[in-house]
Amino acid sequence: MNNMQKINKKQGGFTLLELLVVVGIIAIIGGAMISSFSGNEDKAARGVATQSIAGIENSIRIFVNTTDRLPNNLETMVCAPYSAAGDVTTAVWDGAAETDPEAAVAILATSTEAAVGATAAAATAYKFGGISNVSGVGGGMTKKLAEKFVGTTLTEEEEIEFTDRGLLTLRYAIAEACDDDAATTAALTDVNGTTGPFGDTTNTLADIDIPNQAFSDPRPDDATSFEFRGVGFEGNVAEDAPVLMWYKGSDVTDAAGAVTANGYNNVKIGAGAHDRILAFGIGGDSDLVGPNAVFGKAPFYGQVGKDKFAHYIGLFNTGTYTHDGTSWVIPASSSVNIQAVIDARGDFLDEEFAEFAGQKT
């Protein structure tokens, strides 16, 4: 009798077959969920970026208007020869870089192939990266972002306006670290307690350990060498200092030689067709960032490659300018203020929202 009871007793728990059925059902449901959420990660990121652009612009505008000053130590996104004294006025743009946003990238591409070498590094300013949008290729700015700008230099009026309102220094990348020519290095003396040569050696901008700290001072590795992390230095705001200008767009010239104002790139961010708009990255060395500042940490855009510059960029309108058909005619600057903020791919607020909503791809 006891044996019969043992034989007929119902087994507890799940059988292997039942477990396999449950696992199969979960896998089917999980696959369906993954399919239904496909692409939503990018959409969520664009939504965050849309909110970030608006919030950053409003925060800077409040800072400028309530303090009646400009943020200091912004990032130029420019490579210039190292100067311990912060004099960057000897660095000049190649002529094409000041008129053609794509030509400036071509100049940089040449330098990264070691064709520029010591001669160009001693006298030339060029964009911080801008070779490729692909992760791990080129480093620095994405190509898409770099092609939003042309090179320019600060005017006397801008120097006066900036310094009078608290913008005294800007962050530059050490030109000797911006190409891959091992022969071009800078002699750094007592930078963060270390003295020694610094440059790219066999590295490129794509090899920087922490791209968001690229414009910070070099980080010591020991008493005589540095890690390839921060490649920046502090440059003084001065007339002829190289900076980047938002490319306003080409003018249209008819058969009779009459010039029609275009300036579409300016107009789409709410500026005048011929406004002069300078671009500066909002990095951790700026006084906008800090424990008691506007931002606790430098805001960054996450939808760029691992080696790419990811900070948001402030576009500052330095005044309305006129055009005579061939060159800028620059009057005294009006009061400088923030015009717009763009992300690290060069997208402005309305554009980013259109991508988030699925209207623009």
- Provide the residue ranges of all domains of the chain, joining segments of one domain with +: 40-357
**Ranges 17-26, 89-98, 131-140, 260-269: which has the least confidence:** 17-26
Q: Which residue's entry shows tokens 């992300």?
A: 343
- Determine the pLDDT at residue 236: 97
Q: Considering the entire predicted model, what is its pTM?
A: 0.81
Q: Span 204-233, mean pLDDT?
A: 88
Size (the chain), residues: 361
Structure confidence at residue 58 as a pLDDT band (50, 70, 90): confident
Q: Which phi and psi angles does 228 have, rounded to 5°?
A: -90, 75
Q: Span 286-295, mean pLDDT?
A: 88
- Determine the pLDDT at residue 357: 62
pLDDT per position as a tens digit, 156-180: 889 999 999 999 999 999 988 887 6
For residue 97, the 8-state DSSP code is G
Closest to 304 (Cα-Cα) out of 180, 132, 179, 148: 132
Q: How many angstroms separate the CA atoms of 172 and 149, rounded?
A: 16
Q: Which span out of 28-32, 187-191, 324-328 was modeled with the highest average pLDDT?
A: 187-191
Q: Span 186-202, mean pLDDT?
A: 82
**DSSP secondary structure string, 110-159?**
HHHTTSSHHHHHTTB-EESB-S-SSTTSS-BB-HHHHTTEEEEE--HHHH
Q: Are the beta carbons of 248 and 99 closer than 8 angstroms? A: no
Q: Which residue's entry shows tokens 């006025």?
A: 89
Structure confidence at residue 87 as a pLDDT band (50, 70, 90): very high
Angle between helical axes of 40-67 and 349-357 (0-180°, round to 10): 160
